[in-house]
Structure 1
Amino acid sequence: MPSAALAAEPAGVQQFTLKSGMTLIVKPDRRAPTAVHMLWVRVGSMDEVDGTSGVAHVLEHMMFKGTPTVKAGDFSRQVAALGGRENAFTAKDYTGFYQQIPANKLEDVMRLESDRFANNQWSDEVFAKELEVVKEERRMRTEDNPHARLHEAMDAMVYQAAPYRRPVVGWMSDLDAMTARDARDFYRRWYIANNAAVVVAGDVDVDQVRALAEKYYGGLPTRSTPARKPREEPEQLGQRRLDFKAPAEQAYVALAFKVPGLSAEGLAASGSNEPDAASEEAMALTVLSAVLSGYDGARLPRALTLEANPVADDVGAYYGLTARSGPQLFTLSGVPAAGKTTAEVEKALRAQVALVAKDGITEAELARVKNRWVAGEVYKQDSVFNQARLLGVNWINGYPLGSDQRLLERLRTVTAAQVQAVAAKYFGDDALTVATLLPQPVDKTRKPRQLVAGSRH
């Protein structure tokens, strides 16, 4: 056979490498006569270079602007005529395109998607028009959102060398200077078969999907993936602070701590006698995040927002866990209650982590977090779209098939002592960045923005 099966798992997921070098992942689920077809490209804003930030996202928009055989806008119209829905998304680690269609229309969307992946083209004039749509998207979703602007500035301070310092949508000055050639060069460099994966989930037959994938994707040109140079983040050796002024109704504070993430190697070592220490800590940090704010009545909302004299109106904890590059961030955030300051919220947030470091967590908290995680993973499987999305994200990160089950197994082994240990180890000052929103007067007469005509997002 020209393509080789690489792996399979008991749930029926199978993975293949097509003749072109593209990966194919198929997961049958026959509960409804629908299918999800996704194309994942292992390229996102982290693969950009300074001066062209935002080009990955702009290119996502341009992928809807036609091929020699499909006019601009016809891709979406044809998918709709098939009874399907479609869209796309760009993140720091990846770009993705999807269609959810009746299962018997899978070949139609494979034909369409393989064509635009290989033959995307558009004029300079079309590019210039769509670039204005992207700029307006940035104005509406970032520049008019004080929290988004603060986190954008915070990322640029948290990371010095790591590529996560750039915003996905791009800096406005880079968008102003972007040319059609920038997007075309990015497309030619990264949109190659062995840097992409097709994921199909739903009411499908694996052999039939494999045959269709070879027909439409197997003959694509094969080129080497460009070398990715390491951009390792230097060790942070002291606290960083950012005061950010923007029109806003309330103040806000965010604290970002650099912590380990879950690597592909660490996940693969889950069956060994000596698991990777960093991945063990990553799972413990996941539990800590959930203990702090993963459910109603978790520690942060209970201690900071539900008391008789609350410190905050809103609080949260977030830990990313997975990404193509490290280090990861563990973020605490809060909005002060009336009469309270961001300094008081910051102190209260850190006090709750310090309390875990000192006294640990209860077995009841640990069990609740684990049970909720397991239930959440089960609920995700009710959606064919979510099944395909998880398979795609796992492929982007280099995780093997069965990673979701491995994560559950790892989670079940996390102990209260491990959670206490990471709370004590990673929440000091040296790897901390604090960003504080200082509210400025809001123009009450200003009308909300709307995306300009032509936007499809």
Structure 2
Amino acid sequence: MNALARRATGLLLSTVILPFAAFAADPQPTHEFTLDNGLKVVVREDHRAPVVVSQVWYKVGSSYETPGQTGLSHALEHMMFKGSEKLGPGEASRILRDLGAEENAFTSDDYTGYYQVLARDRLPVAFELEADRMASLRLPAEEFSREIEVIKEERRLRTDDQPTAKAYERFSAMAYPASGYHTPTIGWMADLDRMTVEDLRHWYQSWYVPNNATLVVVGDVTPDEVKTLAQRFFGGIPKRPVPSAKLPLELAEPGLRQLTLHVRTQLPSLIYGFNVPSLATAKDPRTAHALRLISALLDGGYSARLSTRLEREQELVSGASTNYDAFARGDSLFVISATPNTQKNKTLADVEAGIWKLLEELKTTPPSAEELERVRAQVIAGLVYNRDSISSQATTIGQLESVGLSWKLIDNELDELKNVTPADIQKAASTYFTRERLSIAHVLPEEKAHE
């Protein structure tokens, strides 16, 4: 769901522009309504196959957590499969498996989601199961005692024992000094050690209410049938007050921050992160769309500037990439990662100088109209292919709604990207690629004991 620009190559551009234009001009029929208890429902019709995806999104994630109580959103996601008023632990998953359905869940900084992909005539089953655990999750203490150990092991395997993940976690904690985005989604190990099932019960009761959720349904359905089913299964769940949730805003110019990490890796690497707005926090949405295009301009395939200049022409790096999440609830980061070409004896200092030269060029010289059109078409191509499936459409809608944006952006995004000019690219680079907004991580191989 993050970097959209790298999902297609220039060879495909001539074939995808026309279908995307048609997609934007004649969007899939999409409908929204809200039940009396505050549950928002978005239905997008896609009748190509007798299949439907059902997703429930809760507006809560790790950026809502506080120091000392991290990892609650992710742990609760695990416990949502451990039984409710109607079903015992794991029974909902067995029911769906017997129906041939696909199901899973996910937690991020900004939201927690649960989804099922199944035959259209099985949609009532998905609704009944989700409504049951929205209204009456059990949270058995003995299940929590087992599951928290599973989560700790997940943290060890995916973060503590993964040098790249560990480095990025430490980097993020530094790069977000003022907002909840410095908190890892899985939580810090010390907080997992002291988490209790009572903590999760309070978290569930605070946030898992219909007026803090969005139900997204995409596929071979009509809005009337979805509305009838939603009212039948979710309509009786009472609304409750939800705690206030402030946007995760950052300091505009936190100052230059630098971190050196020694991890179990063979090669050194560099992480640059600039504090920038997202679509949700930018004063002008064009700013965020310009940053999206800059990401593709720098790292959008073989002809992108990082690959062309730093990797092939100057042989400074063996690899480099960018990432910018425009769809965060709060302020975001524009990240550039690179690995020096050690075979050519290049250093982190060499790589930093090369990156700054590229960024300064963006500030002083706008891209040519031809280069910008190529990059823009590449981003559009990625959007087209990403949204071909009903699951991708649903996920985009749910994400937009959960971060305070509207699902309607899915249908007017092409126009927003088309309006970005070379001057907008130059302005965004000049505004945001400054030392005062920069966090730097030098990730180095572990030092030997005798050193």
Partner of 1:81: 98
Higher relative contact order (CA 8 A, sep 6+): 2
Tell me how far apart the structure 2 counterparts of residues 132 and 432 of structure 1 sit (CA, whole Å): 37
Q: How far, CA to CA, are the matches of 2:301 and 2:444 in structure 1?
A: 29
Residues in 2 aligned to 1:255 and 1:170: alpha-carbon distance in whole angstroms: 23
Write the mapping of 1:378-397 to structure 2, written as runs, cut at 5 A. Answer: 378-397=384-403
Deviations 1:94-124 (A, max 9, x none): 0000000011100011111110111111321
- Residue 179 of structure 1 is matched in structure 2 by 196
Secondary structure in structure 2 of the residue aligned to 1:345: helix
Q: CA–CA distance in 1 between the matches of 2:46 and 2:368?
A: 39
Which residue of 1 is the match for residue 324 of structure 2? 319
Residues 15 and 25, structure 1, Cα contact 8 Å, conserved in 2 = yes
CA RMSD in angstroms comes to: 1.7
Residues 18 and 413 of structure 1, relative CA distance in 2, 3 Å threshold: same
Where 1:185 maps in the other structure, the secondary structure is: helix
Maintained 8 Å contact 1:257/1:331: yes
1:303 is aligned, of 300, 305, 309, to 309
CA distance in 1, matches of 2:425, 2:252: 23
Match of 2:223 in 1: 206
2:439 pairs with 1:433: yes
Query: Structure 1 residues 218, 58: CA separation in 2 closer, same or farther (over 3 Å shift)?
Result: same
Deviates more, 1:372-381 or 1:420-429: 372-381
Residue 84 of structure 2 corresponds to residue 67 of structure 1: yes
> Which of 112, 137, 141 is the aligned partner of 1:124?
141
- Could you tell me how far 1:127 is from its partner in structure 2? 0.2
Q: Percent identity?
A: 38
Gaps of at least 5 residues in structure 2 are 1-25
The letter for the 2-side match of 1:116 is: R
**Structure 1 residue 402 and structure 2 residue 408: aligned?**
yes
Name the CA distance, whole Å, in 2 between partners of 1:291 and 1:375. 14
Paired with 1:230 and 1:287, the residues of 2 have a C-alpha distance of 25
Question: In the aligned structure 2, how far is the partner of 1:405 from the partner of 1:198?
Answer: 19
**Bigger shift: residues 290-299 or 94-103:** 290-299
Amino acid at match of 1:119: S
Report matched runs for 1:213-228 at 5 Å. 213-228=230-245
Indicate conservation of the 8 Å contact 1:23/1:196, yes or no.
yes
Aligned partner of residue 161 in structure 1, secondary structure: coil
Distance 1:372 1:235 in 2: 31
The letter for the 2-side match of 1:409 is D
State how 1:116-265 maps to structure 2 within 5 Å. 116-229=133-246, 232-263=249-280
Aligned ranges 1:42-57 → 2 under 5 Å: 42-57=59-74
Shift of 1:237: 4.4
| Cα separation, 2, equivalents of 1:374 and 1:291 | 13
Query: Aligned to 2:253, what secondary structure does the other structure show?
Result: coil
Moved more, 20-29 or 348-357: 348-357
Rounded to whole Å, the distance in 2 between the matches of 1:351 and 1:222 is: 54
Counterpart selection for 1:346 from 336, 345, 352: 352
Shift of 1:335: 0.8
Structure 1 residue 426: Cα displacement: 1.5
Residue correspondence of structure 1 range 327-342 to structure 2 within 5 A = 328-338=332-342, 339-342=345-348
Counterpart selection for 1:32 from 49, 70, 74 = 49
Aligned residues of 1:38 and 1:98 also touching (Cα < 8 A): yes
The residue that corresponds to 1:374 in the other structure is: 380
Distance 1:18 1:168 in 2: 30
Matched residues in 2 for 1:125 and 1:114: separation? Answer: 24
Specify the code of the residue in structure 2 equivalent to 1:280.
R
Structure 2 CA distance for partners of 1:245 and 1:43, relative to 1, 3 Å? same
Query: Counterpart of 2:316 in structure 1: which amino acid?
Result: V
> 1:229, CA displacement in angstroms?
4.2
- Evaluate the alpha carbon distance shift between residue 258 and residue 31 of structure 1 in structure 2; reply closer, same or farther with a 3 A threshold: same
Task: Tell me whether 313-322 or 92-101 shows the greater mean CA deviation.
Answer: 313-322
TM-aligned CA deviation for residue 400 of structure 1: 2.3
| Compared CA separation, residues 404 and 231, structure 1 to 2 (3 A) | closer
The CA deviation at 1:35 is 0.4
Q: CA deviation at 1:341?
A: 1.4
In structure 1, how many angstroms separate the alpha carbons of the residues matched to 2:132 and 2:254?
49
> Do the aligned partners of 1:249 and 1:442 also contact (CA within 8 Å) in 2?
no
Contact 1:88 1:97 in 2 (8 A): yes
User: 2:18 aligns to what?
Assistant: none
- Matched letter for residue 178 of structure 2: A
Count of residue pairs brought into register by the alignment: 422
| 1:122-172 deviation digits (Å, cap 9, x = unpaired) | 321210110011111111111111121111111111222211110001000
Could you say what secondary structure the match of 1:20 adopts? Answer: coil
Q: Which stretches in structure 1 are left out of the alignment for 5+ residues? A: 1-8, 267-275, 444-457
SS in 2 for 1:234: coil
Give the C-alpha shift of residue 364 in structure 1: 1.6
Q: Shift of the alpha carbon at 1:39?
A: 0.4
Q: Secondary structure at the match of 1:224?
A: coil
Preserved CA contact (<8 Å) 1:248 1:441: no
**How far did 1:428 drift?**
1.6
CA distance in 2, matches of 1:401, 1:140: 35
- Check the 8 A contact 1:300/1:315 in 2, yes or no: yes
Alpha-carbon distance in structure 1 between the residues aligned to 2:378 and 2:246:
39
Distance (whole Å) between structure 2 residues aligned to residue 366 and residue 404 of structure 1: 22
